[in-house]
Structure 1
Amino acid sequence: MPKKPTAPPQLPELIVSTPATLEECLTHLAGCPHIAFDTEFVGEDTYRPDLCLVQVATPERLYLIDPLTCGDLKPFWELVVDPQRVVIVHAGREEMRMCQFGIGRPPAHVFDLQIAAGLVGFTYPIGYASLVQELLGQRLHKGETLTDWRRRPLTSSQQQYAFDDVRFLIPIWKKLHEKLRRLTREDWASEEFAAFVRRSVSDDPAVEKWRKLKGIGGLDSRSLAVARELYHWRDQRAAQGNRPPRTVVRDDLLSDLARRPPGKLEELLSYRGITKTDAPHILEAIRRAKALPVGECPEPEGRENDPPHVLLLSSLLGVILSEWCARNKMASNLVATTTDLKRLVRARQPGGTPFGHSALKTGWRQRVVLPELEAFLDGKRSLIVESASSQHPLRVAPAETKPA
């Protein structure tokens, strides 16, 4: 049956566009143990996105804070990072980053609705509009998604869109918080929120962003060293000029320079898209890469070439995980990735690689989920098709004792 719509909160809607109205807003927020917020920004033309609007919800009021006119936002960010305050967001990666940019650290106590929804059985990732409809029976109209939030004055439709973006955050938080409590998963959620904040504001040292450059597949170690050096030079150049990296030097051009590195200025300037200003710095980056000892050059990434039985067991674990998650009201792709499952199976092979870095090796996943998967690999559990026509067609059972 369709969910009976929950009446939207009828709250005062306030525009904060001057230092005086910002001070009034902050006075109210200082007394709120829970606040929700969202941001609107434009990031196409700059290295770091330009913050254009901050939307804030409390149980009593809705605010649109205009950072272009209201003055210094540092006092606002200080309230956001206060560990005594719960900060509610939906898919709030950019909100975490904006806070980091604004005051040098992220919020201390975050509740992300998208993650919480995955922990109680909703699809992950689920959009804000879908979550509003699923939990509150309300429909949102997302008509201003591609608007230019830098232009002033904001239109009435822009303002309505912006208020709606935070109007339902606290009502959804109350429902998801209660679901987590009933399922005794509040600690799991806290682990997930903390990990989410860390990922949002810091680069994972295990992830080498330069390897995502198109066209560097098949390069040897020395050419990869050139690609890496050029990528880092470009990123620094873009940050200094507050420009998107692609406008400094295109990705395909970086890849071509790594594949066929020029040694002279005239050769480099024959490429379209290289400026006379940047050319000497590019040549210097290439020379640095060529001067590296062989042991400091990056290794080419090996292609996965798992034997058929490893692929079979990994696929089986995927089914087992999906069954466990369906039975326990969890989004399986939030629990573990295909790579996590393959690593688990590989670690069981003779002379196999250690399990290594995997979400399954930490926190609640290691305590609760990993033993379930290992029980199947150890032959202690079996999966039975109970009813092909049922919404829950599979059943887990103890494995039958093998004959001697």
Structure 2
Amino acid sequence: MNDIASVRVDRAHDLYIDTPEALDALCKRLEGSSWLALDTEFIRERTYRARLCLIQVASPELVACIDPLALPDLEPLRPLLTAPGTVKVLHAAHQDLEIFHQLYGAVPSPVFDTQIAAALLGLGEQMGYGRMVSEMLGVDLEKGHARTDWAQRPLDPEQIGYAADDVRYLGEIYLEQRERLSALGRSDWLDEDFRRLSDPASYAVDPQTQWTRLRGIQHLRGNQLCAAQALAAWREELAQQADRPRRWILADEVLVDVARRMPRNTAALARIRGLPERTLERHGSAILELLEQSRNRPETDCPQPAERLVLTPDQEALADLLMATLRIEAQRQNIGPAMLATRRELERLASGDDDLPVLRGWRARLIGDTLLAVRRGERCLRVSENGVRLED
């Protein structure tokens, strides 16, 4: 990059924002920026919702750490986060965007995720921020504050500097990645991925669908699935109301075991291994009532788990062929295979399913059309002394 010096602010000039007046002044300075780098520090080990402890923000002119614990509200920041002319740059953005959705009921947009862009540029899948800064900019970040309790005050200068470094280099990386994507003709390839990141629906929680996330539900049948759905929805709503982690109320494996065994009384419920005594005392009656309601529901009203895909031997072989094709094309394009499609997607493709992400947008142009041609028998793999390649 030719303008690195213009987008890197020295630590000595970092701002710490802990008064309403300072926040107002900061937001005025940030108005009209072409991009803003964002990151958050939070804790959620003992709560359902993440407790926001610090917001780091950087523009071409400044780096600042905003202290939500010292401020009455963060409303002045909202217009900046939704300004259509300002790109919000984050790394591994989902958790940070989830926190902003929790805070404002809206998600910053437009966004640019440097981790996703790194994968499209062939720099590596799920690349960590520290490694990316090191490889792209030659800067080795400090690692000593990775386990900091960000809720404690006051924060010392080293902690603040460590947090500020999480956005200090994002602008440089964003500009460099944007240039590389443009040189490869891939500038707009990630637009759909980034729009999906800014979709509020991606962060909404529906208690009635939480049962689908439980491990082990494939072993449940009929009214057991009714029970799993009812218990998972009850647990979700209770966790939200009490602002406590789900597992503190009922761990996943215990919930599934309760749904499987469907005890009829307190004594039988108490014999469920791993059920906390506190939960039994406080919520045993509610759990038994949900189980009774589940027993009385017609099986036709019970939810159904996702149908397990079973491939024929020919389809298994085709999935292997599609996977080999994917790897060859990913290597040729210098993109991580997982950025293009998963093995599960290719198995569905081999089974005849055409409603897949790999067959939409830039993935279709890059690999999806080729995979369809292989499935139709129009293209094949040939092995030669020069390696494996695709041929008509």
Q: TM-score, normalised by structure 2?
A: 0.90
Unaligned segments of structure 2, at least 5 residues = none
1:383 aligns with 2:352: no
1:183 pairs with 2:184: yes
Shift in Å, 1:305:
3.3
Q: How does 1:40-59 map to 2 (within 5 A)?
A: 40-59=41-60
* Helix, strand or coil at the partner of 2:351: helix
SS of aligned partner of 1:278: helix
How much has 1:161 moved relative to structure 2? Answer: 1.1
Deviation at 1:128, TM superposition (A): 0.8
Greater CA drift, 12-21 or 379-388: 379-388
**Counterpart of 2:360?**
362
Answer whether contact 1:375 1:381 (CA < 8 A) is retained. Answer: yes
Counterpart amino acid of 1:299?
Q
Distance in 1, matches of 2:227 and 2:71, equals: 46
Which protein is richer in helix relative to its size?
2
Against the structure 1 CA distance between its residues 320 and 208, is the aligned structure 2 distance closer, same or farther, given a 3 Å change threshold?
A: farther
Q: Structure 1 residues 174, 189: closer, same or farther in 2, change over 3 A?
A: same
Instruction: State the Cα deviation string for residues 105-129 of structure 1 (Å, max 9, x = none).
Output: 1112001101111112221111111
- Secondary structure (helix, strand or coil) at the match of 1:51 reads strand
- Partners in 1 of 2:385 and 2:201 — Cα distance? 43
Query: Of the candidates 341, 349, 360, which is equivalent to residue 346 of structure 2?
Result: 341
Instruction: Determine the structure 1 residue equivalent to 2:122.
Output: 121
Q: Distance in 2 between matches of 1:309 and 1:199?
A: 41
Q: How does 1:222-371 map to 2 (within 5 A)?
A: 222-265=223-266, 267-268=268-269, 272-273=275-276, 274-347=279-352, 354-356=353-355, 358-371=356-369
Query: Structure 2 vs 1, CA of residues 361 and 62 (structure 1 numbering), >3 Å: closer, same or farther?
Result: same
Unpaired segments ≥5 residues, structure 1: 1-5, 348-353, 399-404
C-alpha deviations, 1:190-226, integer Å up to 9, x for none? 1111123338833598x95424434444221211211
**TM-fit CA distance, 1:302:** 4.8
- Tell me, in whole angstroms, the C-alpha distance in 1 between the residues paired with 2:217 and 2:379: 44
**SS of residue in 2 equivalent to 1:277:** helix
CA distance in 2, matches of 1:212, 1:72: 34
Displacement, 1:27? 1.0
In the superposition, relative to structure 1, how do residues 385 and 139 fare at CA in structure 2: closer, same or farther (>3 Å)? Answer: farther
Distance 2:326 2:198 in 1: 26
- Inter-partner Cα distance in structure 2 for 1:219 and 1:251: 14
Q: In structure 1, the residue corresponding to 2:320 is in which secondary structure?
A: helix
C-alpha contact (below 8 Å) 2:8/2:169 kept by paired residues: yes
C-alpha distance in 1 between matches for 2:48 and 2:98: 13
Q: Which amino acid aligns with 1:178?
A: E
Moved more, 190-199 or 176-185: 190-199
| Identity between Structure 1 and Structure 2 (%) | 35
Whether the 8 Å CA contact 1:90–1:112 is kept in 2: the answer is: yes
Report the counterpart of residue 395 of structure 1 in structure 2: 389
1:269 CA drift (Å): 5.2
User: For the Cα contact (< 8 Å) 1:83–1:107, is it kept in 2?
Assistant: no
Cα separation, 1, equivalents of 2:306 and 2:390: 38
1:338 Cα deviation (Å)? 0.8
Q: CA deviation at 1:303?
A: 4.3
Per the alignment, residue 150 of structure 1 pairs with: 151
Query: Does the CA-based 8 Å contact 2:379-2:391 persist in structure 1?
Result: yes
User: CA separation in 2, counterparts of 1:376 and 1:18?
Assistant: 61
1:9: which partner in 2?
A: 8
State whether residues 37 and 88 of structure 1, in contact with CA within 8 Å, keep that contact through their aligned partners in structure 2.
yes
C-alpha change, 1:196 and 1:386, in structure 2 (3 Å) is farther
Tell me the C-alpha RMSD between the 2 structures: 2.4
